[in-house]
Structure 1
Amino acid sequence: MAAPATLRADARRNIELIRAAAVQVFRERGLSVPLEDVAAAARVSKATIFNRFGGRVGLIDSVIDEVVAVELLSVMEDARSIQGVRERVHAYVRATRKLQYSLPAVNDVLLQEFPDSEPLMALCHAADAFHDELVAEGHTAGILADGVTPGDFQALAIDNALALKHARVHPSRGDYDRRTAYILNGICAPSD
């Protein structure tokens, strides 16, 4: 892609229209939405997306921060700021599942749908590192059930992502939150 300063005004405008459309469409429907839908929302051709971004992965890389990265990183940072380990685990699981429910692109990230996207994979690696940290703290504090591993946090998120992405019927928010409580009761040791 040419440097923005060397682009004609109409080309710069198209780039901004495509980015804005991608942010909206990806946030509403996920990163796997047909590029034709992004092009239609931007009122450009699909070829223009390829010319300006090189395809889906280039477009994802260009907008990932606005679509999902800020929210995912914020969930981890917010959890880190909570004093009690049990409360930290609960807040993290609830916030992650809330994002999965309300922001379809989160599920595409967690499922690593686009492994050629370096920013997307960086989010996955950040989550893996956070899971390592959270599980170590949880076992040290004695609040996690025996045998819970960082991989269990990842598997729970992936299972949820698959269920939300492929379910014929989206669960009601009440049912979904009730199931979140079941998960927390399963991974956390009973409190005294």
Structure 2
Amino acid sequence: MAGATSAESGLRADARRNVEQIRSAAIGAFQGQGLTVPLEEVARAAGVSKATIFNRFGGRIGLIEAVIEEVVASELFAVIDHTRSIGDIGERVAYYLTAIRDLQYRQPAFNDVLLQAFPGSPQLMEICRVGSEANEELIAAARPSGALRPEFTADDLHALVVDSALALKHGKRPSRDDYDRRTCYLLDGIRGRSSAPDGW
């Protein structure tokens, strides 16, 4: 009986180790290549078989659910929280859009979230919902102040970040300098007169 208990304990320890190795490999792969990275690559990095990923997580959706907090949600929610803490509405808009585009450039998985690449993941869809609410909240606060063009809407903001996600995922990746310069162009294009530079 004692031998059986020891064997079961060993199996549980192996299973826990496999789970942590897979989680760590998935976080690295998703952050580097996005949520569509082949599971074979995750398995190889974790030192397990692809079948083990299915056994432990049920497949890609389960794996996404297990690590999406570390990969995307925590950083996005920190951006949203910091945005809300900025008093000046013009600065709030500039920070939010710059930070979101920075996330898009650095984290391919964030673009997969924006594109709702895996609608079967409840957590991914919840991140989208929270992001959409943050967009609407920001635009609702900014438009009456004159910080944004009066015709600019939350749908426009959503379209801009989705367009960027599509370009980064499927197009030629720009240099960081070019990307940041285009962020400045974008901000200049949506600013209202109250937040435009002198001489605008």
SS at the partner of 2:55?
Answer: helix
* Equivalent residues in 2 for 1:38-77, closer than 5 Å: 38-77=42-81
Match of 1:27 in 2: 31
TM-score (norm 2): 0.90
SS at the partner of 1:71?
Answer: helix
- Work out the CA distance in 2 between the residues paired with 1:70 and 1:151: 24
Match of 2:127 in 1: 123
Q: Which residue of 120, 128, 140 corresponds with 1:136? A: 140
Aligned residues: 187
**1:170 deviation in Å?**
1.4
Matched, 1:18 2:31: no
SS at the partner of 2:37?
Answer: coil
For structure 2, the 5+ residue unaligned runs are 1-8
**1:74 deviation in Å?**
0.9
- Work out the CA distance in 1 between the residues paired with 2:21 and 2:116: 26
Runs of 4+ in 1 over 2 A off after TM superposition: none
**1:69 deviation in Å?**
0.7
Q: Which residue of 171, 175, 192 corresponds with 2:174? A: 171
Q: Which residue of 109, 115, 120 corresponds with 1:105? A: 109
For structure 1, the 5+ residue unaligned runs are none
- Work out the CA distance in 1 between the residues paired with 2:120 and 2:94: 32
What value does the CA root-mean-square deviation take over the aligned residues?
Answer: 1.4
Match of 2:6 in 1: none
- Work out the CA distance in 2 between the residues paired with 1:144 and 1:124: 23
- Work out the CA distance in 2 between the residues paired with 1:109 and 1:26: 11
- Work out the CA distance in 1 between the residues paired with 2:29 and 2:189: 35
- Work out the CA distance in 1 between the residues paired with 2:144 and 2:51: 54
SS at the partner of 1:140?
Answer: coil
TM-score (norm 1): 0.94
Give the percent of matched residue pairs that are identical in Structure 1 and Structure 2: 56
**1:92 deviation in Å?**
0.2
